[in-house]
Structure 1
């Protein structure tokens, strides 16, 4: 896929502001990827991000992560001073442990984030005010977040880790780092690093952001063959189907497990990212071979299953009908979140052992599912919107404005149920 580069402009002080806004208007009109070169307004910021991340990762580059995480690790805040800025890293040992459990080495993580190649800016059609950056190899997203969202993630990090440990094939986005960059007298930005669900993307033919509703869920497609990337929405997907055959039961159950977890976090407005590409002949042949070699067991879906019930399923991805689900920690009567049982999130060797991959040769196997004819990229993102009093008022207002139509702002229980129903109705 070709990239659209921002054109260079003369450095005339009187026209700089006009050039910036003209460039932004052009970007908003042509949604897609833009290389952050020396003429880009974010070039200086992204260079600082790279420098700060390289220094922040150096300790874990030199020392392998241990198999234990402590309460202090979850509360860890490390500040490193650079010439023009400071960089804070939050819960660094915890995220290093998570990266290790996903089979991601610190060397390749740093190599991708801190290479000499320019970051890419993704201009989203989302209503979010966040800035999206993508590493040049498109493997990792860096997204700015507000302070409230960062506090929410760090406050629930133990529960998130417990969920990923219990369900190693979870479709939830994998958060790999939380940082804050502070440029004196200029700005202070929090940002997170995530795995890109759509990786590798060189053959993806279409991308969708699914919320399971209809209001404002249509995006005008770009002409066929255009290099511009547009993420389509629910109404664009109508008439299509996710064809998985034997793996469909696993997908339905994992979506239910993940959305139930988000329901208990009292969040809504998250998205199911979906993309697809045609399978080539050798990939179809590989799937037939893997069907006899790589099996998901009940324990790979639920760590709490008894060892007596770990026989392999008949096909990769199949989930037995009687698969139990364990309750997810939730808030007590005072509104405080209950912590998972002591040491549960620390058993990373078990996490690694159970993280069986259906497509072990891929670098993003946890978000890739192959059907008979197509490869699908599936993940759940944007999990920070709490069902607050303001959101309840927004729900009432939208009920009046859109009578009889489905819209995004509903209770977490209704949101979870609706998204599960969408996957069930659009898969076979």
Structure 2
């Protein structure tokens, strides 16, 4: 009996040590905003205010079609000592629904008893960044100008996501303003975190497609800081996607064309990677997994009615493949934007690389601007390659090519003659961004 008791205590101690180790690992790069933290009071009010806002609209039916009134909707919750304002709440609720995020699930992450986490990185942004305790959602303070820009272009953003449901653009899930009378007025947005779940991520990168100021010393000096690396740190590496390469390049091209139309520049591709385990490599080819992923990737009811059942992806033989040299997706491709003679030819971008033949089951998805999503909660920002899982998302889409940016462009041309820097016209920025993706994807 004594031996069994001793063995039980040993196992319990081992489990406790393992739990402490995993907790310490998941807190690398973040600080818990506890009672002694400078943002504790603010984040507590943010949680209380958002809970009141979500509860006030949670019984509202999901909108099948959004009207102009939905985009203009404003709400106010009066709470003890502060006010919480919401903007276009029905629109963001519709977007959450499209991502299979229920209102209860959203509220449980945003408004738990657990404290928020403060993200600590080498970013130069003056904004404050917070993570929900489960790290699923990101909260970021924004200027009034940035919020006005988002809301004024929200209809175009939603139209783009409707056309490209698996777009790489970051998903905005709510816009709020907290007001403490005579003290503070602060706007903030809620986004889906690109790097979720992050427990096994090796490296993180912020890619802009340029080289001036785009290197970060990866050494942390023993500090628990998440170093976000940059373009020059990624040299001689590749994003190895295999069959998803062609979809990835086309989607980046479509997303950057949208941002170019908004006169936006200086956006980034957030990129992270983690090795796929053997069970994940085998599992993603199983029939059961493919059925789940197919269901997740498209709404069968919305799939084109003129297609025969045998032509729906994955409902036909997986053994067929497109012949070598064939383009993965039939039909016309969006033309490259013009400017400065640096455009990338469509046939160059869409030509298949070695070992990137597109299996026939992916063609139906790609034809309708979709792909076969992984069976994960953060599926739109995750792409499984041949041996690695990649977390990808286009972020920081609020910088407009204004008079100030044009003057900055002139100054940088004098300061860095012949070099590649970030402040350029949106047309050139988009083309260069796509070129970087093309050159670094296999």
- The bucket for the TM-score relative to the shorter chain is 0.7 to 0.9
Q: Which moved more, 1:223-232 or 1:235-244?
A: 223-232
Deviation at 1:69, TM superposition (A): 1.9
Residue 419 of structure 1 corresponds to: 433
CA distance in 2, matches of 1:165, 1:319: 22
Q: Does 1:283 align with 2:297?
A: no
- Normalised to the residue count of structure 1, the TM-score between the two structures is 0.81
Q: Deviations over 1:216-244 (max 9, x none)?
A: 11111135997431111111111111011
By how many angstroms is 1:73 displaced? 1.0
- Number of aligned pairs? 376
Following superposition, the deviation at residue 108 of structure 1 comes to 0.5
Supply the distance in 1 between the matched residues of 2:378 and 2:276 (Cα, whole angstroms): 16
On the 8 A contact 1:112/1:136 being kept in 2, the answer is yes
The structural deviation recorded for 1:125 is: 2.2
Match of 2:175 in 1: 178
Q: TM-score, normalised by structure 2?
A: 0.78
Which residue is 2:81 aligned to?
Answer: 84
Shift of residue 289, structure 1, vs aligned partner: 2.7
* RMSD of aligned alpha carbons: 3.2
Pair 1:67-2:64 in alignment: yes
1:58 aligns with 2:55: yes
Structure 1 residue 322 and structure 2 residue 336: aligned?
no
Query: Does the alignment pair 1:231 with 2:228?
Result: yes
2:112 is aligned to 115
Q: Structure 2: which 5+ runs fail to align?
A: 1-21, 315-319, 338-367
Corresponding residue of 1:195: 192
Partner of 1:409: 423
Q: Structure 2 CA distance, aligned partners of 1:287 and 1:210?
A: 28
CA distance in 2, matches of 1:226, 1:307: 58
Q: Distance in 2 between matches of 1:86 and 1:151?
A: 19
Does the residue aligned with 2:285 lie in a helix, a strand or coil? helix
State the alpha-carbon separation in 2 of the partners of residues 137 and 177 from structure 1.
Answer: 18
Question: The residue matched to 2:58 in structure 1 has which SS?
Answer: helix
Cα distance 1:357–1:60, how it changes in 2: closer, same or farther (>3 A)? farther
Name which of 378, 383, 388 aligns with 1:374: 388
- 1:166/1:304 contact within 8 Å kept: no
Q: Is the 8 A contact 1:246 1:315 kept in 2?
A: no
Distance in 1 of aligned mates of 2:379 and 2:151: 26
Q: Distance in 2 between matches of 1:82 and 1:270?
A: 36
Shift of 1:322: 2.3
Give the equivalent residue in structure 2 for 1:22. none
For residues 407 and 224 of structure 1, the distance between their equivalents in structure 2, rounded to whole angstroms, comes to 28
Q: Deviations over 1:115-135 (max 9, x none)?
A: 011101113322221100010
Aligned equivalent of 2:413, options 399, 407, 417: 399
Change (3 A) 1:227 1:203: farther
Residue in structure 2 matched with residue 98 of structure 1 by the alignment: 95
Say if 1:42 and 1:3 are closer, same or farther in 2 by CA, change over 3 A.
farther
Distance 2:66 2:432 in 1: 36
Give distance in 1, aligned partners of 2:132 and 2:298. Answer: 34
- Specify which of 355, 361, 368 is matched with residue 375 of structure 2: 361
- 8 A Cα contact 2:336 2:431, kept in partner: no
User: CA 1:261–1:315 in 2, change beyond 3 Å: closer, same or farther?
Assistant: farther
